[in-house]
Amino acid sequence: MSDALFRKIVQELADIDYAGRVSLFEINEPLMDENLVEKIRYVKQRVPKSWQYISTNGDLLTVEKTVEMIDAGLDYLTINSYSYASYRKIKTLKSALPSEVRLRVIHTDHFNPDFAADNRAGNLPHIASVQEPLKESCSRVNNVLYIKPDGTVVSCFGDFFNKNVMGDANTENIVDIWYGAPFTKLRSHLDNADRTPNELCRKCNMRASGNYLERYDILPKLAQSSNLPRGAIIGASSSAQMFYPYLEKYAKVEWLVSHTVASTQPSKKIGRLKVSDNYSKVLTDPTLDFVFIANANGLHYETAVRALEAEKHVLIEKPLSLSLEECDTLIRLGREKNLVVGGVFQWRFMHTVKFVKELLRTRALGNIIFVNCNLLWKRDADYFVNGRGTWKNDGGGVLMKQAIHCIDLLLYLFGAPVSHHAFVSNTVGHRETEDSASVLIQFPEGIATLNATIVNADNLTPEVDIIGTAGRITFDFNDVFKCWQCAVPEPELKPNGLTVFDKQIMNFINAIQGKESLNVTAESCIGSLSLILDIYKDNTQSPNAFQSLTSS
């Protein structure tokens, strides 16, 4: 690519304050570009919020080159090692790189042809094209803009011969290309699982999925960033790190703020966010529209009140607060100030949950007999730092921190509980809060059991098993049906590249812009909190009371 064209594209990214991924390669070897380091540095200087990523076979990679690229602004590097020699090189890198650079080696024991069977839109003759077009969506036309060295913009990395040209970056602005008629028309087909609009899509055998580096991508449609809501993240928790890429997709996140008012510890840096340890000061910023609250549970209420009083919409990690009275106050403040108050329960947005709700509405499973839900996770000692595992910070253990997702989903599907009984325990014994619980819930129709622990030998995907007089359905939190025994045909799930995190954040941003109703309202978050608080209360009054609960 000519230097003039490269600088033109970078300038257009700078003009929109772009905060997504920039990859200075397509399906070639990037280290063959002698000017790669300078280009990385130029992008870093001109588009500081962007993420830069490259993938290499490692043949030309050295420790010196790696350090140069990182110093210039490279954020993420993938090395595909296919030989013992290149593997040894990676091991050498691991010991030579600065300590702040994280390097992860993933081993595969065998060759799996399923991972190598991509036919590049039918352009690879040794891999057969599909006989009939796949009836699946394709996320790439919504996530990635491919610009060839000569400036030709194509719809897909598999378009070797420029069959589907979307525009010319030499003469057109990349934003105009992205919103242009060719892309718009193609998306109208692919977003609806129609792969018939052109020869490449018809022959392509790539399954529907999100981008494999989705957390480093940002939807290019956000080029119209001046109209996007502006926000801040309060709390440098794992939840903040998890949701940050998705917030950046649909809004302009400016600040990362420490999790306490008087913190003596600096906030961990996330992405390109400006860092502050004074959230009261940040909340006075008149340009901020919303706050994502992801600090300790015990600080949610105070932080949310401050934000609402500062006229900011709030999205609060579960739970909203640690008391029902405080939740009522947040709801009242939101109504008085006409602000959106939302909670985070992303699993409501699963495809499977949507279908299950419809099955329950139409009584396709008959009368519900039993519902079983298991959450078997592992949280090692490293998890319990900075006050985790205490009543003051967390307000509870596995029920309040992890299984609240399962309880919310059960209430979302089956309504308010009629009664319940539960046992909680501290298997490990050296923490204040419970690490395991078994809960029996009587719903208006059916009985549900929940078994939850964070001292399992490994992290297993939670599952929900629903048994009715006319059928049985099992789905997991990977959004997959594991069992379908029902007169209604099993639906064909059509992933569109959007995760549950995408959907939750999109819904919140659209809600504060008045485009749609909020799904996870503050009011709808109270049920799970109320049930958990009742369980804790019941166990402290039991003859076999949970000792850590009574001592609190």
Single-letter amino acid, residue 228: L
Quickly list H helices, 369-517: 391-394, 398-401, 404-414, 500-512
Considering 138-152, 245-259, 374-388, 457-471, the range whose residues carry the highest mean pLDDT is: 457-471
Collapsing DSSP to helix, strand or coil, 254 comes out as: strand
Considering 131-140, 152-161, 396-405, the range whose residues carry the highest mean pLDDT is: 396-405
User: For residue 242, what pLDDT is reported?
Assistant: 85
CA distances from 104 to 23, 31, 91, 101, 504 (A): 20, 20, 10, 10, 30
The answer, yes or no, to whether residue 54 has pLDDT greater than 60, is: yes
The answer, yes or no, to whether residue 132 has pLDDT greater than 80, is: no
Contact predicate 231/251, CB 8 Å:
yes
The answer, yes or no, to whether residue 552 has pLDDT greater than 60, is: no
With DSSP H G I counted as helix, E B as strand and the rest as coil, what are the percentages for the chain, rounded to 5? 35, 20, 45
- Mean predicted lDDT score pLDDT of the chain: 84
Sole residue written with tokens 């108050």: 341
The answer, yes or no, to whether residue 43 has pLDDT greater than 70, is: yes
The predicted model gives 540-548 an average pLDDT of 46
Give the DSSP H or E segment for 437: strand 436-442
The predicted model gives 326-346 an average pLDDT of 97
Distance from C-alpha of 340 to C-alpha of 518, rounded to nearest angstrom? 8
Which of 73-77, 123-127, 149-153, 543-547 bottoms out in mean pLDDT, i.e. has the lowest? 543-547
Collapsing DSSP to helix, strand or coil, 188 comes out as: helix
User: For residue 383, what pLDDT is reported?
Assistant: 84
The predicted model gives 335-344 an average pLDDT of 97
Buried b (16+ CB within 10 A) or exposed e, 174-198: bbebbeeeebeebbebbbebbbebb
Tell me the pLDDT tens digit for each residue of 193-223.
788 888 888 888 776 544 333 333 333 334 3
User: For residue 183, what pLDDT is reported?
Assistant: 86
Instruction: Show contacts of 512-516: CB within 8 Å, 24+ apart.
Output: 512/229, 512/289, 512/290, 512/313, 512/340, 513/229
User: For residue 389, what pLDDT is reported?
Assistant: 86
Distance from C-alpha of 245 to C-alpha of 174, rounded to nearest angstrom? 22
User: For residue 292, what pLDDT is reported?
Assistant: 96
Considering 52-66, 163-177, 356-370, the range whose residues carry the highest mean pLDDT is: 356-370
The answer, yes or no, to whether residue 147 has pLDDT greater than 60, is: yes
Which of 403-407, 513-517, 524-528 bottoms out in mean pLDDT, i.e. has the lowest? 513-517
Which of 24-33, 128-137, 164-173, 282-291 bottoms out in mean pLDDT, i.e. has the lowest? 128-137
What are 439's two structure tokens?
A: 């809960």
Of 215 and 80, more confident: 80
The answer, yes or no, to whether residue 489 has pLDDT greater than 80, is: yes
The predicted model gives 349-364 an average pLDDT of 95
Tell me the pLDDT tens digit for each residue of 426-461.
888 778 899 999 999 999 999 999 999 999 999 999
Tell me the pLDDT tens digit for each residue of 286-330.
999 999 999 999 999 999 999 999 999 999 999 999 999 999 999
